[in-house]
Amino acid sequence: MVEWRTSGLTDYATGVAQMERQVAAIRAGEAEEQVWLLEHPPLYTAGTSARTEDLLNPRFPVHATGRGGQYTYHGPGQRVAYVMLDLKQRYQGTPDLRHFVWTLEDWLIRTLAALGVQGERREGRIGIWVTTPAGEAKIAALGIRVRQGVSYHGISLNVSPDLSHFQGIVPCGIREYGVSSLAALGVDAGMAEVDAALKAAWPF
């Protein structure tokens, strides 16, 4: 059984420390799996594949993180979901990480569909993409890590963040395309509505 937890604006270092404690407890069989919905103050995170040249203007704090991927931005108006699941149990042995990532992408696509937005995968590009009048743009990102069979970190969905904050980095190392949000697409959805859509589309 998955426990759903919702918090307000949460300091990044504090959030990661709490997430890691939860993951250790899940691994030890002392806690339920958890999806933690929260927001962070403005910051950049550097995944394990981050390149120095993709940090263009460190106007906000930069945090090195153990998740996969490159640079990303977190800030108010963006729904972050930390997904802490016992994949060994769910996949009855060795976790199928490719399938796990595909399922998280599908979760985002179905959540967006419930909000009236067509989100899509793109070959060779990480994240979920939308078509805007200015061209293709990323609306959601994924970055996960698995330790001893338990997943952590997770996904972020742009609800109504300040999109100019993304200009300090090359998001996920992709220079050719921009970023978008539900608000930029004309969808007037609050966090409560987005959270309800995420829970309704939950695939596990």
| pLDDT 10s digits, 31-72 | 999 999 999 999 999 988 899 999 999 999 999 998 878 999
Number of domains the chain contains: 1
pLDDT beyond 90 at 175:
no
* 36 in Cβ contact with 81 (< 8 Å): yes
The one catalytic residue among 172, 184, 197, 198: 172
> Considering only 26-30, 34-38, 52-56, 123-127, which range has the smallest mean pLDDT?
123-127
**Residues making up the chain, counted from first to last:** 204
Domain that holds residue 162: 2-201
| pLDDT tier at 124, thresholds 50, 70, 90 | confident
Rounded mean pLDDT, 22-26: 98
- Residue 105 carries which DSSP code? H
The verdict on whether 108 is a catalytic residue reads no
**Strand ranges (DSSP E) for the chain?**
2-9, 33-39, 43-46, 62-64, 71-74, 78-84, 120-122, 125-132, 135-147, 150-158, 178-179
User: Which pLDDT tens digit goes with each residue over 75-101?
Assistant: 999 999 999 999 999 999 889 999 999
- Percent pLDDT > 70 in the chain is 100
**CATH code: domain of residue 98:** 3.30.930.10
pLDDT beyond 90 at 139:
yes
* Cα–Cα distances in angstroms (integers) from residue 107 to residues 165, 173, 179, 197, in the given order: 26, 23, 19, 10
